[in-house]
A = this chain, B = another copy of it.
Amino acid sequence: MSKFTDLALEARELNPDIEGVTERHEQYGDITLTRINIESEQAAQKLDKLCGSYITLDAPRLIDRPLDLFDSTSQKLAEELNMFLKSLDAGAEVMVVGLGNRMITPDSLGPRVAERVYVTRHVKQYMPEAFDFPLYSVASIAPGVLGSTGVETLEAVKGITERVKPDLIIAIDSLASRRASRISTTVQLSDTGISPGSGVGNLRAGLNRETLGVPVIAIGVPLVVYASTIARDTISMIAEETGLHKDEQKLISLAEKVIDEKMDGMIVTPKDIDSIVEDMAGIISHAVNMALFGKHYEEVRMLIA
């Protein structure tokens, strides 16, 4: 039975005893930060994730939308993102890529963040005198999804990458989780790029250093649980509680039946997903802007907006 999740944290929970993985937990007020490093190819394969560093911010209280926690989550995310920016030169080129489909609410996180990131590339190019302090040259695009453009996301991003020649890409995407309770309460940051086949929009080819020739930092928020995951979980739970799990084959065929009949293409989502996505886009874009512009944040904002 497939155990699909975009979160390294959940993949780890399902395989707690695999070697080649380190895991560390830190607590910052309401936020639990988990650092998972996948260090061996073997571990990577078992977890169905790439080798690299995964940082998860979990703040269950975000479900109540308290303004102060929005702020501190954004702040913490900016700090962690900053670590990944350390090696960049002062005037480096950074390209933000908002993945997903603007027209499908739970898949619209990427485009919504992309449009809120402060872009400076054109100002540095055409009015270099506007900024009297060194800052990154930031571009921000939303390439759309294969189903609406007819163009693979990787192809589109490659094409623009060759023109813009960024030193680093920050990719934003909606993720699929295994638990509805994670929707709107979790952010994953990683240095591995976007995995093939992940996300709501079913990106086919991965976006990472191998495919794009540039390091790709990924920021994702679980906004979707596949209805089929819920069905499979329900069945597993019953199987365990009733001793039915001895008859594995029967279970599998039951699951397939339920899923085929009732849940094909369906997702489980909170009723107020529209405002949740908007809030999370605010948190992420604020973090990205703070990480990219630091103390010049407000200044850049005024010049750009």
Contacts and interface: CB of A to CB of B under 8 A. Distances in A.
B106 A271 contact: yes
A163 B105 CA distance: 29
Copies of this chain in the oligomer: 4
Contact of A159 (B160, B234, B301): B160
Interface string A135-154: 00111111110111111100
A258 interface: yes
Nearest to A148: B115
A162 B160 contact: no
Given A163-B158, A238-B238, A269-B266, A119 B106 contact: no
Interface in A166-209: 179-181, 200
A200 B106 contact: no
Contacts of A273: 105
Contacts of A137: 150
A271 B179 contact: no
Contacts of A163: 151, 155-156, 158-159
Interface of A: 64-67, 102-107, 115, 119-123, 137-144, 146-152, 155-156, 158-164, 179-181, 200, 225, 227, 230-231, 233-235, 237-238, 241-242, 244, 250, 254, 257-258, 262-263, 265-275, 298, 301-302, 305
